[in-house]
């Protein structure tokens, strides 16, 4: 009985695989037949685009760039190394290595994860012939059909040549000619076996296998490349050993931007390009365009510096956006820690809870409705009761409470949640909601008690743009990266034009909010607890407005000057709870980047508006300072709302106390 069942099962499996194989063969035949009858694409002009920074310097090129090198001018070392490590059967298959695909499926299924890839050189080249980097089934289908077309219309040598001229070698270097110049300062035809085997190992994971960033890993990868070259009989064992032991000299300082994170910026530029409705689709499909962006290489360098110097662990992720608050131009952007490991661009595609970073907008509205920096509430653990017996019980970070009256200035420095919810409910839930909408938050929000604590998910770019309205004195901005797009003949296809905007926030009040946000790292506010950014104080040499937002799953730091607004987020993609070191690392990363950016330029600050007055007060109580041994800080008030000076606390007495401190 068992033998009959086994025999029947075997027959059914054989029939299933026969039918599957039949459909598979038929599908591929149709694919190749379709490819033969379609027009031949020009692989040297497809995806031929150039990206320029805000100074007009070329920072990125797609296919068809001036550094294109013919295969005959590439020495055999780089050709043999690339084929050995990427696709040893390249000259034997028709675009898809089916045996390799089957093997990879078995390995990945048995291991329960992605352990082995099976993309051929033709498939990888097809992927490079797109202007965008989106990951979708639609794109996968395009790549598959383009693979058929490449194999139908071009020789293997032409395909390999195209691949070598478009593949990513890390640090913004696309194409073997650029990579050879960047890493070794020499022409491709002069690469040694050791140099070629290092370069051939990079495209599998540019960030991990860059010899500049990870020399040890790049040598391990080189060993894999050389051993496969030896197994495929391209080199002898002696040549393999000599190449591995050869001392390499890198010239990476002499060519290109050297920014591995730049690909995230380019990714975001392409996303914006695809959303511009005035550019004909033919240009987006074939390229041949020049894209002039708002990229500031100093800003991008500063972001990358902050990322590299404060890496916490490989599991956590990050996103960073640096913007000019006066016009919404995005100067720098990073969408993740390692593009080689994850192409998901969190800066433009991720939505997370902003936490307490919404509070400056709450307190702006409070100041507009009669509050002052000295307005106090009793802060203690509190249950808020609503209709239908609903209870809302917010907690302070670390369950630390003042258990006394504290001022608005102290509440923003400590990020006190009880004070925030009391303010929110006192004003009415619609006030904060309307304010967030007015500064450009378009994500889903609800009028609820928890809105004051940032419990609704928002995007990083829109949150940065919202803070821009605080930084520029009340004007909303439209975030953008593209200034102009022109075709190969110089015709302007698109040009960004600033839109006339209505002032939405009062500049006097935004000044007061900006000054209050300097209290987050001011030691004069140390009392029953510490200001949220006190750990950053020793690293800060300029005046910034800073606000943090920490939830169980997200860490935000947003800060600004009149010239820059900068957002840094850290967390896990699966929304796991974040440990304290991720929060600390994100704070350090923010201040490292901001200080790095201002090394080459002065950091400005705001002039005191004529209708605003400064008073030396105890920032925790909000009362006028009476002695030099009190906590003290100059807080700013709309004229007529400031704490009154008594005879004991005359202006002269205030100056005396201030000078003593």
Catalytic positions are 86, 356
> Whose structure tokens read 């006339």?
500
Distance CA 23, CA 18 (A): 9
> Whose structure tokens read 């605003």?
612
Distance CA 507, CA 511 (A): 6
3-class SS of residue 559: strand
> Whose structure tokens read 């459909």?
23
The DSSP code for 480 is: B
Alpha-carbon distance values, 468 to 257, 430, 544 (Å): 28, 22, 13
CB 334 within 8 A of CB 484: no
CB 429 within 8 A of CB 447: yes
* CB half-sphere exposure, 534, CA atoms < 13 A: 13
**Which residue spans within 482-544 are E strands per DSSP?**
482-487, 492-495
Distance CA 648, CA 656 (A): 12
**Which residue spans within 77-212 are E strands per DSSP?**
none
- Retrieve residue 448's tokens: 């609820």
Distance CA 585, CA 201 (A): 31
- Cβ-proximal residues to 87 (8 Å cutoff; 6+ apart), any chain: 97, 120, 121
Distance CA 434, CA 250 (A): 55
- Cβ-proximal residues to 596 (8 Å cutoff; 6+ apart), any chain: 301, 302, 305, 306
- Rounding to the nearest 10 degrees, give the CA dihedral for residues 399, 402, 404, 409: -130
Phi first, then psi, for residue 40 (nearest 5°) are -75, 125
């Amino acid at each position: 009985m068992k033998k009959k069942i086994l025999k029947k099962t075997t027959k059914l499996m054989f029939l299933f695989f026969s039918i599957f194989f039949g459909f598979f063969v038929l599908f591929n035949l149709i694919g190749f037949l379709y490819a033969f009858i379609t027009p031949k694409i020009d692989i040297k002009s497809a995806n031929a685009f150039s990206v320029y920074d805000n100074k007009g310097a070329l920072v990125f090129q797609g296919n068809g760039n001036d550094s294109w090198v013919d295969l005959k001018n590439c020495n055999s070392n780089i050709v043999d190394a690339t084929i050995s490590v990427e696709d040893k059967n390249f000259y034997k298959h028709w675009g898809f290595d089916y045996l390799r695909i089957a093997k990879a499926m078995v390995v990945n299924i048995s291991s329960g994860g992605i352990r082995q890839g099976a993309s051929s050189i033709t498939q990888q080249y097809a992927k490079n012939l797109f202007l965008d980097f989106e990951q979708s089934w639609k794109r996968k289908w395009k790549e598959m059909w383009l693979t058929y077309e490449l194999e139908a219309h071009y020789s293997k040598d032409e395909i390999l040549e195209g691949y070598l001229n478009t593949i990513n070698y890390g640090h913004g270097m696309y194409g073997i000619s650029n990579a050879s110049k960047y890493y070794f300062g020499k022409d491709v035809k002069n690469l040694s076996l050791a140099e070629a085997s290092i370069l051939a190992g990079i495209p599998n994971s540019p960030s991990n296998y860059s010899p500049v960033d990870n020399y040890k890993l790049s040598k391990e990868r080189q060993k894999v490349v050389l051993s496969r070259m030896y197994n495929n009989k391209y080199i002898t064992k002696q040549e393999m050993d000599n190449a591995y032991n050869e001392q390499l000299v890198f010239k990476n300082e002499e060519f290109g931007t050297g920014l591995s994170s730049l690909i995230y910026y380019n990714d975001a530029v392409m996303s914006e390009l695809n959303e511009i409705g005035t550019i004909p689709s033919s240009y987006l499909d074939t390229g041949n365009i020049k894209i002039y962006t708002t990229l500031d290489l100093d800003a991008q360098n500063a972001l990358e510096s902050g990322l590299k110097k404060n890496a916490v662990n490989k599991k956590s992720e990050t996103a960073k956006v640096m913007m000019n608050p006066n016009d919404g131009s995005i100067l720098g952007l990073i969408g993740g820690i390692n593009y080689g490991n994850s192409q998901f661009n969190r800066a433009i595609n991720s939505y997370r809870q902003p936490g307490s970073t919404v509070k400056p907008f709450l307190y702006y509205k409070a100041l507009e409705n009669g509050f002052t920096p000295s307005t106090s509430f009793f802060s203690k653990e509190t249950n808020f009761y609503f209709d239908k017996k609903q209870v809302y019980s917010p907690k302070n970070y670390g369950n630390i409470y003042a258990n006394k009256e504290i001022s608005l200035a102290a509440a923003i420095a400590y990020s006190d949640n009880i004070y925030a919810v009391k303010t929110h409910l006192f004003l009415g839930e619609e006030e904060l909601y309307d304010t967030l909408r007015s500064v450009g938050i378009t994500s889903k929000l609800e009028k609820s008690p928890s809105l004051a604590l940032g419990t609704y998910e928002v995007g990083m770019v829109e949150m940065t743009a919202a803070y821009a309205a605080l930084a520029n004195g009340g004007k909303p901005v439209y975030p953008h990266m593209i200034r102009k797009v022109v075709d190969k003949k110089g015709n302007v296809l698109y040009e960004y034009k600033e839109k006339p905007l209505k002032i939405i926030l009062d500049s006097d009040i935004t000044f007061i909010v900006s000054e209050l946000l300097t209290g987050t790292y001011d030691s004069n506010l140390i009392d029953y607890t510490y200001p949220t950014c006190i750990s950053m104080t020793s690293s800060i040499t300029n005046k910034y407005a800073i606000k943090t937002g920490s939830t169980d799953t997200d860490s935000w730091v947003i800060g600004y000057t009149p010239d820059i607004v900068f957002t840094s987020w850290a967390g896990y993609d699966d929304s796991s709870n974040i440990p304290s070191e991720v929060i600390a690392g994100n704070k350090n990363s923010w201040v490292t980047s901001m200080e790095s950016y201002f090394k080459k330029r002065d950091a400005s600050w705001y002039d005191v508006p004529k209708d605003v007055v400064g008073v030396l007060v105890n920032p925790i109580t909000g009362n006028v300072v009476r002695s030099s041994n009190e906590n003290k800080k100059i807080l700013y008030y709309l004229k007529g709302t400031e704490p009154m000076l008594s005879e004991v606390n005359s202006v002269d007495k205030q100056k005396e106390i201030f000078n003593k401190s």
